[in-house]
Amino acid sequence: MEFTDFIIKIRSLKNGTQVFEYNLDGSFFAEFGNSIILDASLRVLAEVEKSSGRMEVNFLVNGIVVTECDRCLEKLEIPMDFRTTLSVKFARTGEIGEQIVDDSSEDMVIIDPSEGELDLKQYIYDYVCINLPLQRVHREGECNAEVMRILNGISSGAERRESREDSCGNEERNAPQLQGEVSEESLEALVKRFSTRKGK
């Protein structure tokens, strides 16, 4: 998809409502250098309502994005389905009054009509990123079993060591490895796995 596909020609746009449709894949996010979204299949509808002095762009976004699970680092599909609105006010540079400036917000922009264009690309990107959940993990039982076994072993081993330290007053450095504790080999394999995935 070419960059110009996202540019709304304000000057030639008639008053009324027009709808623009975009289909996004992973390459769209790669252009922004985004390392969180690995792939995507999104349908974006931008309903543009233009009137004298202002314009509103109503976005409808649905589909999926692919990211990494925060817990096991395997690929995770996240459904996206949201609506949001971008308000646009037309005002020449010398005519921007205090009221317009006070009314401005993250969801409203002021454009000089002489500029003649509104690029939706950055706004679409920002809205998708904002709507990603803060915690991105598989549902219980769907994480990579091997990774979870190692992580659970690390957690179990740490709890057992803390218990021994509390009961003995100091760390038993030469104590044998307890059942359930993860081996150094497994830990090294996990670190190598995480490093390889992060380096991609």
Q: Map 35-46 to HEC letters.
A: CCCCEEEEEEEE
State the pLDDT at residue 29: 94
Q: What is the mean pLDDT of each successive set of 10 residues along the chain, which is 200 residues long?
A: 70 88 94 90 94 91 94 90 93 56 62 82 95 87 74 54 53 47 57 59
State the pLDDT at residue 53: 82
**Gap between the Cα atoms of 59 and 72, Å rounded:** 33
State the pLDDT at residue 200: 56
Ordered by start, the domain boundaries in the chain are 3-130, 145-198
pTM of the predicted structure, to 2 decimals: 0.69
